[in-house]
């Protein structure tokens, strides 16, 4: 008789509710874990209105920053367009791919790394000193609003890091770098008052005075080259491409039992939750969504499987949804 891989579903010889599995002619007796989790698995759905192209095909004349259109035009005309540190097209992060339409043709926008540059940039870090009314001795401070525009933005970003030090609050990493604000634009550096050797030592922002600390540090920055590829000539073609790229599951309402339709309906209104062991309807729905790893209720110990708030895409009849699966405490 062939050997059977061990799983977290316990192999038992007798007793309890038994599940008999026949593998290669050998009868094996299996049962679920008897332990009941104190947590629940939550399914939440959010509707995406309209066709996918309305979300993932951009109008480059309306995007900010303006280099998106410059990168597109240069690459489409056969020129090489590169950027340093940032990608040549506005990054969409978890929002998915980026496409553009020009004269009836749809293009996929992307980039690849072609090199690296070592540079030095000034960094503004702020350290909270106190409230203005308590700091009459701090004479050399300026209001945030009196600074050049580039410095105002730098203070707004750097104060996020200053405010979070020693606290449990989050920081918008990506804006905040190395615990402060990095000046990368040459014009912003030239216009800055805070970076000047004779600049103010303190700045007041939102009723708090911060000490100004300037450092110049080394960065190794990637050089990106823009890619533009024609992929479709019609709305139907781009929709087919987007479905193939994005969708994790496709479910037909007509083929679902009433219990599973009710689970999805409840998840659309907020979230649907169950503790392990799950109901047969919830298990069946998880299988149809392709999330077999959740069935044993202990996905966090499964190698290579994410158990956080990863977003997935669902086509439910002719409607698109994003959905998440996450563990919550009862």
Per-residue model confidence (pLDDT) at position 86? 87
Q: What is the pLDDT of residues 300-311, one digit of tens each?
A: 666 556 555 678
Task: Measure CA 203 to chain center.
Answer: 33
pLDDT, position 308: 59
Q: What is the mean pLDDT of the chain?
A: 83
- Is 147's pLDDT higher than 90? yes
| 168 pLDDT tier (thresholds 50, 70, 90) | low
What is the token pair recorded at 183?
């000046």
Element (H, E) at 186: helix 186-191
Secondary structure, 3-state, the chain: CCCCCCCCCCECCCCCCCEEEEECCEEEEECCCCCCCCEEEEEEEEEECCCCHHHHEECCCCCCCCHHHHHHHHHHCCCCCEEECCCCCCCCHHHCCEEEEECCEEEEEEEEEEEEEEEEEEEEEEEEEECHHHCCCCCCEEEHHHCCHHHHHHHHHHHHHHHHCCCCCCCCECCEECCEEECCCHHHHHHCCCCCCCCCCEEEECCEEEEEEEEEEEEEEEEEEEEEEEEECCHHHHHHHHHHHHCCEEECHHHCCHHHHHHHHHHHCCCEEEECCCCHHHHHHHHHHCCHHHHHCCHHHCCCCCCCCCEEEEEECCEEEEEEEEEEEC
Give per-residue pLDDT as tens, 38-84: 788 999 999 998 999 998 998 887 776 777 889 999 999 999 999 99
> pTM to 2 decimals?
0.71
What radius of gyration do the chain's Cα atoms show? 28
Select the more confidently predicted residue: 34 or 116. 116
pLDDT above 50 for 8:
no
Residue 141: which of 206, 189, 211, 213 has the closest Cα? 211
Domain range annotation of the chain:
1-33, 34-48+246-329, 53-117+222-233+240-245, 118-218
pLDDT one-digit tens code per residue, 248-260: 999 999 999 999 9
């Amino acid at each position: 008789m062939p050997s059977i891989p061990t799983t977290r579903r316990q192999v038992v010889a007798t007793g309890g509710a038994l599940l008999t599995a026949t593998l290669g002619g050998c009868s094996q007796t299996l049962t679920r874990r008897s332990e009941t989790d104190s947590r629940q698995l939550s399914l939440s759905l959010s509707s995406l209105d309209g066709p996918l192209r309305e979300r993932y095909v951009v109008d480059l004349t309306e995007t900010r920053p303006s280099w998106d259109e410059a990168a597109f035009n240069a690459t489409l005309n056969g020129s090489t367009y590169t950027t340093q540190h940032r990608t040549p097209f506005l990054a969409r992060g978890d929002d998915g791919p980026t496409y553009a339409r020009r004269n009836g043709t749809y293009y996929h926008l992307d980039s690849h790394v072609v090199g690296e540059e070592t540079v030095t940039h000034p960094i503004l870090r702020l350290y909270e000193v106190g409230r203005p009314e308590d700091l009459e001795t701090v004479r050399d401070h300026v209001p945030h609003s009196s600074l050049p525009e580039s410095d105002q933005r730098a203070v707004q970003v750097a104060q996020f890091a200053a405010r979070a030090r020693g606290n449990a609050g989050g920081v918008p990493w990506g804006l905040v770098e190395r615990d402060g604000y990095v000046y990368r634009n040459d014009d912003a550096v030239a216009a800055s008052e805070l970076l000047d050797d004779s600049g103010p030592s303190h700045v007041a922002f939102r009723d708090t005075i911060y000490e100004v600390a300037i450092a110049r540090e080394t960065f190794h920055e990637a050089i990106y080259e823009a890619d533009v590829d024609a992929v479709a000539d019609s709305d139907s073609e781009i929709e087919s491409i987007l479905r193939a790229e994005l969708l994790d599951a496709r479910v037909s309402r007509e083929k679902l039992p009433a219990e599973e339709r009710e689970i999805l309906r409840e998840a659309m209104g907020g979230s649907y939750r169950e503790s392990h062991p799950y109901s047969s309807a919830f298990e069946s729905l998880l299988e149809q969504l392709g999330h077999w790893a959740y069935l044993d209720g202990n996905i966090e110990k499964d190698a290579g499987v994410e158990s956080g708030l990863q977003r997935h895409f669902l086509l439910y009849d002719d409607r698109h949804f994003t959905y998440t699966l996450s563990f919550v405490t009862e």
